Amino acid sequence: MIKAILQSKNFKVFFTVLFLISIFTLFLTGCREENTEDVYSSTVEVSTIDINTEIAGRIVKVFVEEGSKVKKGDIIAKIDSSLYEVQKNIAQANLEVAKLSADIAEQNWELAKLKYQLLSKKPSKYKINQIKENILQLKDIKLGNENNIEFLEENIKNLEKMKMADLDTIKLLSELKMQLNSLKAQNSSLTHQINSLENQLEMVKNESVTDEDKMIAEISVDIAKRNYLQALSYVKVAEQNLKISDLNLEKTTITSPVDGIVLTKGVDQGQFVGIGTFIAQIGLSDYYLKIYVPSAQLQKLSLGKKVELILDNNKKAYGEIVFISDKGEFTPRNVETKEEKQKVVFMVKLKIIKDKEILRPGMLVDVKI
């Protein structure tokens, strides 16, 4: 009976179907194992740069949104520059005053040397006229300072009327008052210098020279020289302050330092920001992936090899191997078995070279080797 069953037609059909199913199952299993070995999951990585403010102020305009493409030098945001323009004007005025003071100090030095020389010989008509001319120049400078004093007093008065209590306004008001006091002190010094020159002029005219006058004149030369050198140092300080004011004014325009994409926007128009406030995060143009390959599969890889990247929606991009680590490491993931934990892999870095516009940082993709 068993022999009859084995020889029956239905049994032969059943056995053939069973055999084909077994072969097909083995084929699928083999393909799955092969694909598992050659497909690696990874996430898209990108280097980022955070853009932060270097000065404080109110944002008057933001020029980008998240996802915006930017080039190096493109404007990201603009801070209100009115306060920094005033500070620059003050710094410019301070530099001009410092230069005038240095010129005056140099003239005083020259005049002191001249006075010392006049004590040794009878003064000439030319030298007397030169003293007169110097007196007129000092009076002109004093008149210019008086105009600047009026300008500063008017600005201080306007600011005090505004009654603004923010730190920047208080700081500006303090700086203006310091400049006003400085100009007043300089004018006081100019008045003294003019009186001194007028006295010198009368002395030269009268030719009333004594040994004591000669000694005083010699000391005056040394003092005038030191005052001139000090005035030159003030000029250098004023020049540095002007450079700082220029830099601060430039920093009101916030630009991108690199080509890339705006990943995160941190501010909105009208927002007040302090120093170091986060403005935006820029993702660099190049995207990368890292995969970890078992040592047995390294023979399939080489620098420059092109690979296929598959997204969840079956869209494809393409990458190139740019780095293969020469140092093995344990599998960087949680595993169940001791054997898997001890499995050594090598890090391989890939650069996206084609169709990267369909990718985003953090996106999960399969890498097909």
Find the farthest-apart pair of alpha carbons in the chain and give their distance in angstroms, rounded: 159
Question: Mind listing the pLDDT tens digit for each residue in 245-260?
Answer: 999 999 999 999 998 8
Residue 271 pLDDT exceeds 60 = yes
Looking at per-residue pLDDT, the higher value among 168 and 127 belongs to 168
* Higher per-residue confidence, 79 vs 13: 79
Q: What is the mean pLDDT of residues 122-129?
A: 61
Q: Do 263 and 288 reside in the same domain of the chain?
A: yes
Mean pLDDT, the chain, rounded, equals 81
Helix (H, G, I), strand (E, B) or coil at 260: strand
> Is the pLDDT confidence value at 4 over 90?
no
Contacts of 39 (CB under 8 A, 6+ apart): 310, 366, 367, 368, 369
- 156 and 61, same structural domain? no
Residue 180 has pLDDT above 90, yes or no: no
pLDDT exceeds cutoff 50 at 30:
no
Q: Which of 49, 44, 73, 77 is nearest to 263 (CA)?
A: 49
Among 196, 219, 250, where does a domain finish?
250
Last residue of a domain, one of 250, 284, 314: 250
* DSSP structural state of residue 210: -
pLDDT at residue 332, rounded to an integer? 60
Q: How many domains does the chain have?
A: 2
CATH value at residue 191: 1.10.287
Determine which of 39-53, 205-219, 238-252, 275-289 has the lowest per-residue pLDDT on average: 205-219
pTM: 0.53
- Regarding whether 86 and 75 lie in a shared domain, the answer is no
Of the candidate ranges 234-243, 281-290, 338-347, the one whose mean pLDDT is the lowest = 338-347
Cα 206 to Cα 208: distance, rounded to the nearest angstrom? 5
Q: What stretches of the chain show up as alpha helix (H) in DSSP?
A: 2-7, 9-38, 82-118, 125-162, 167-206, 211-250, 338-341
The per-residue b/e assignment along 261-281, b for 16 or more CB within 10 angstroms, e otherwise, is bbbebbbeeeeebeeebebbb
Q: Does a structural domain hold residue 271?
A: yes
